[in-house]
Amino acid sequence: MRIANLDGRLVLLSGERALDVERASTGRFAPDAQAVYERWDEFTEWAAGQAGDGDPFDPARLGAPVPRPGQVFAIGMNYRSHADEVSYEHDGFAPPVFTKFPSCITGPYADVEHPGGSVDWEVELVAVIGRPAYRVAAANGWAHVAGVTIGQDISERDLQHEGDRPQFSLGKSYRGFGPMGPWLTTIDELDNPDDLELACAVNGEEVQHSTTANLILDVPGLIARLSAVTPLLAGDVIFTGTPAGVGLARTPPRFLSPGDEVVSTIAGLGEMRNRLVNGTSDS
Using CB under 5 A, list all residues that contact Zn ion. Answer: 122, 153, 242
Please return the burial class of 227, using the count of CB atoms within 10 Å of its CB with bins 0-12, 13-18 and 19+.
buried
> Smallest distance, Å, CB 12 to Zn ion?
30
Q: Nearest-CB residue to Zn ion?
A: 153
Nearer to Zn ion, 153 or 236 (CB): 153
Residue 96 C-beta: closest distance to Zn ion, Å: 10
Smallest separation (angstroms) from Zn ion to the CB of 160: 10
> Between the CA atoms of 165, 170, 176 and 181, what dihedral angle is there, to the nearest 10 degrees?
90
Shortest distance, position 157 Cβ to Zn ion, whole Å: 12
**Residue number, 59 or 96, with CB nearest to Zn ion:** 96
The least CB distance from residue 83 to Zn ion, in Å, is 12
Distance separating alpha carbons of residues 207 and 85, to the nearest angstrom:
13
* Distance of alpha carbon 34 from the chain centroid: 14
Amino acid sitting at position 230: T
Query: How far apart are CB 182 and Zn ion at their closest, in Å?
Result: 19
Instruction: Output 118 or 186, the one with its CB closest to Zn ion.
Output: 118
Q: How far is CA 247 from CA 51, 120, 256, in A?
A: 45, 6, 8
Nearer to Zn ion (CB atom), residue 20 or residue 153: 153
DSSP secondary structure string, 115-160?
-SS-EE--EEEEEEESS-BSS--GGGGGGGEEEEEEEE--EEHHHH
Rounded to 10 degrees, the C-alpha dihedral 195/197/200/205 comes to 150
- Output DSSP code: residue 153: -
Rg (CA), the chain: 18
Instruction: List the alpha helices (DSSP H) in 156-282.
Output: 157-161, 168-171, 219-227
Q: How far is the CB of 47 from Zn ion (least distance, A)?
A: 31
State the nearest-atom distance from the C-beta of 169 to Zn ion, in Å: 11
Q: How far is CA 263 from CA 26, 82, 175, 184, 205, in A?
A: 37, 19, 19, 17, 9
What is the Cα–Cα distance from 239 to 235, expressed in whole angstroms?
13
Task: Between 184 and 200, name the residue whose CB sits nearer to Zn ion.
Answer: 200
Q: Which is nearer to Zn ion, 190 or 248 (CB)?
A: 248
Identity of the amino acid at 3? I
d(CA 28, CA 269): 28
